[in-house]
A and B are shown apart, each in its own frame.
Chain A
Amino acid sequence: MYVKTIRILTKQYVELDVITPQVEAIVAESGVQNGMVTVLTKHTTTGITVNEALECLESDIAVALEQFAPEDRPYSHARMLKDYGSTAGNPTGHLKALLTGNHCHFLIQEGQLQRGGAQDVYFCEFDGPAQRNILVIVEGQP
């Protein structure tokens, strides 16, 4: 198994970042020819999703998620968290992450990610700006 971490400093409260090139580069350096890659965010207010990398879709996705979890709703999570020593202000991030999920998988054949022509890997920030870590886990035969 070959594991690498992609580190991202997000700049906005909500942002969708295409990370396909970084994932493909890690698969290439792993030397795995036939196997699977998993892309997994280590955070609970971020997501990993696969979609078409179009500005219009990014806007529609952000709006749809905002409608699903609007900022001005009275969330139970808005409270002091004793084990953090700080106030939780990010319930919407947790709920949006629920929809996108926290990982994706791709098949690797002959060293290439087998993704459809419209498929890109997105890292989704729902509580930025923040410092984020994404695991890329490559498994298979060299």
Chain B
Amino acid sequence: MFIDIHVHPAFYEPINRDPRREELRHEALNIHKNGTAPLEHIFNQMRCAGLDKLCLLPEDYTSTVGCALVENEEIRRLVDLAPDKFIGFASVDPLQPDAADKLEDAFSRLKLKGLKLHPGRQHFMPSDPRLEPIYQLCERYDKPVLFHSGLSWEPDTLTSYCHPLAFEPVAQRHPRLRICLGHFGWPWIRESAMLMVKYANVYADTGALYFDNAREFYTQTFTRDIPITWIDRSLRHQVLFGSNNPRFEQIRMAQAIGELGLRESTLELIRGRNAVDFLGGLD
């Protein structure tokens, strides 16, 4: 089982019938010239990458952009089109008064499997008390939170809100809440590793490719910025494969993760078993 925990479906054809909405997504996500993708193309990509399932992440930017770029209902629609391939996450804007209600609806009615939040783009500190009802709901429903962490290529983002250390209060106050630092918190790889070795409920995904090609960047990040032994020996149950597709190169990243010199048993965990644990199981 090979799972990509970090995929943005904003340009999937079934949810892009309105050209104005598509254009808004290009501008707000700062992803251009990629067009829209029919699901058949997505499945072709998955086959080339060897992937079995994708976690689809929406973005509710009501406070900063004026709307959700991808709605939770759209995620549900996509999952229903390929329930064997797609796992749907929810998004809420924590600064909106209806955030908790919307999240409860996403978990109870839409049956979404987790929550995606982007502190840098949604302009909140993870430790902000206004987030407490959100975290408590996730704990009550046993759903994980995948945070954007580290550098964001989206406009109007504040990186300090996404520093790995900003997530420590959440990990410490909510030991039963599984949280994932998206993009491994790049460039703060060591800080992410520190949180992971200290808190068993902290995971990180590999969705980082900010320089060079996938093989070169993964080699730099996971064998030089930190030694590969840190992952292979100590963090092997907390690292999830993620590509951040379509911004990054899903197929090449899926190949590059296998070329780092990790034990085969560690690769098996990173490719799928850790994601299943993070998600609290598959349906």
Contact B212 A78 (CB under 8 A): yes
**With a CB–CB cut-off of 8 A, which chain B residues contact A74?**
216
Prevailing SS type, chain B contact patch: loop
**A79: CB under 8 A from chain B?**
yes
Contact B247 A86 (CB under 8 A): yes
**Across the interface, do B33 and A89 meet the contact criterion of CB distance under 8 Å?**
no
Task: Tell me, in angstroms, the Cα distance from A11 to B215 when the chains sit together.
Answer: 23
CA distance A123 to B190 in the complex (A): 46
Does B31 lie at the interface of the complex (its beta carbon under 8 Å from any beta carbon of A)?
Answer: yes
Chain A residues positioned under 8 Å from B34 (CB to CB): 84, 86
* B13 to chain A: closest residue by CB: A131
- Known pairs A85-B30, A86-B34; A9 contacts B249 (CB<8 A): no
**A72–B251 Cα gap in the complex (Å)?**
15
A residues within 8 A CB of B213? 75, 78, 87, 89
Closest to A129 in B: B44
Q: In the complex the two chains form, is B48's CB within 8 Å of A83's CB?
A: no
Q: For the complex, is B248 an interface residue (Cβ under 8 Å from A)?
A: yes
A interface, size bucket:
20 to 34
Chain A residue at minimal CB-CB distance from B42: A129
Of A9, A13, A85, which one neighbours B32 at CB under 8 angstroms?
A85
Of all chain A residues, the one with the shortest Cβ separation from B30 is A85
Check B31 against A84 for contact (C-beta < 8 Å). yes
Q: Give Cα distance in the complex from A42 to B30, angstroms.
A: 23
Q: Is the CB of B30 within 8 A of A89?
A: no
B214 contacts partner chain A, Cβ-Cβ < 8 Å:
yes
Chain A to chain B contacts (Cβ below 8 Å), 9 pairs: A9-B38, A9-B44, A10-B44, A78-B213, A79-B211, A80-B211, A83-B33, A85-B29, A128-B44
Interface residues of A (CB under 8 A from B): 9-13, 72, 74-75, 78-80, 83-87, 89, 128-131
